[in-house]
């Protein structure tokens, strides 16, 4: 190939020749004059690579400028080796770039997510039910207040409609009535503990919202981390908060989407019938 012959001239130049001029004559030969050791040589590399030593000190070397025919025995991969190497380099570069960007985004996302969790824990530490109960222990007593409110409303309903409050079972009351009573009870509780509950559930909601808005990651994985930190009473209060007017429009759809009520037993609720307030997906029975 002509590139090999040109390489020979370049190699000769590297070994001490100083090329003054190079041109291709009318017969298709590459002619070059060079000076070596103070003597001028006329170098011509013949078309077939033979060196003519008939002229001394001038040496004629002829280099054919005509295109050397391609080797018909080359495979497809050999003929397109340069192209394939270029394509492979581009693909590898793109993969590395995507990996780098993904890693950076993951680090940024997780940093924000765990900062949110730390903020939620700080909110919990500042919750105070009484001088004797604060922090996460407060939720047990706050939920106790919710149960008192609910039992009072339920007793009044049963007494008004059935004349007794002792022989009636929960399943004897229509689910729609359960819904009304539960919402009334939580409203009374929220008005009593608004400062603590409002701050707590706003923070929890924003964590889930943040995960939901970042579609790049597996949201269920991160919301499971949040759910795993909830105590039994936090879980039950989450249930009623998102069913109430304070969370049913924005927080409740996310609770269902990410099955945040998973592992919540019906015996942890105010009435076992309340389990029907949410679809099965909220309890992870119908989740992917």
Task: Please say whether the beta carbons of 115 and 104 come within 8 A.
Answer: no
Whole-number Cα distances in Å, 259 to 256, 265, 266 = 5, 13, 15
- Rounded Cα distance, 128 and 286, in Å: 37
What b/e string do you get for 214-237 counting C-beta neighbours within 10 Å, with b at 16 or more? eeeeebbebbeebbeebeebbbbb
Whole-number Cα distances in Å, 162 to 154, 167, 169 = 12, 10, 12
Which letter does DSSP use for residue 60 in this model? Answer: B
Residue length, the chain?
Answer: 288
Q: Which of 185-189, 216-220, 258-262 has the least mean pLDDT?
A: 216-220
Quote the mean pLDDT of the chain.
78
Between residues 122 and 32, the one the model is more confident about = 122
Please report, rounded to a whole number, the percentage of residues in the chain having pLDDT higher than 70: 68
- pTM of structure: 0.66
Please report, rounded to a whole number, the percentage of residues in the chain having pLDDT higher than 90: 50
Kindly indicate the confidence band of residue 193, based on its pLDDT and cuts at 50, 70 and 90: very high
Beta strands in 62-188 (DSSP E): 63-64
pLDDT of residue 28: 43
pLDDT of residue 200: 97
């Amino acid at each position: 190939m002509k590139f090999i012959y040109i390489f020979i001239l370049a190699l000769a130049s590297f070994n001490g020749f100083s090329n003054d001029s190079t041109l291709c004559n009318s017969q298709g030969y590459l002619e070059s004059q060079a000076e070596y050791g103070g003597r001028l040589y006329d170098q011509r590399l013949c078309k077939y690579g033979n060196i003519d030593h008939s002229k001394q000190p001038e040496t004629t070397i002829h280099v054919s400028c005509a295109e050397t025919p391609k080797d018909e025995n080359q495979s497809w991969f050999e003929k397109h080796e340069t192209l394939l190497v270029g394509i492979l380099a581009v693909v590898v570069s793109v993969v590395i770039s995507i990996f780098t960007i993904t890693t950076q985004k993951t680090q940024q996302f997780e940093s924000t997510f765990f900062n949110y969790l730390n903020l939620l824990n700080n909110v919990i530490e500042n919750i105070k039910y009484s001088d004797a109960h604060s922090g996460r222990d407060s939720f047990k007593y706050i939920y106790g207040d919710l149960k008192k409110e609910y039992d009072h409303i339920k007793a009044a309903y049963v007494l008004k409609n059935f004349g007794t409050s002792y022989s009636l079972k929960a399943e004897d009351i229509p689910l729609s009535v359960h819904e009304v009573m539960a919402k009334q009870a939580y409203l009374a509780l929220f008005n009593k503990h608004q400062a603590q509950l409002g701050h707590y559930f706003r923070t929890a909601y924003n964590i889930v919202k943040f995960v939901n808005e970042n579609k790049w990651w597996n949201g269920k994985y991160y919301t499971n981390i949040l759910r795993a930190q909830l105590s039994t009473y936090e879980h039950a209060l989450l249930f009623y908060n998102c069913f109430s007017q304070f969370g049913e429009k924005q927080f409740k759809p996310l609770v269902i989407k990410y099955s945040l009520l998973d592992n919540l037993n019906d015996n942890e609720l105010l009435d076992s019938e309340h389990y029907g307030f949410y679809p099965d997906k909220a309890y992870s029975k119908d989740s992917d």
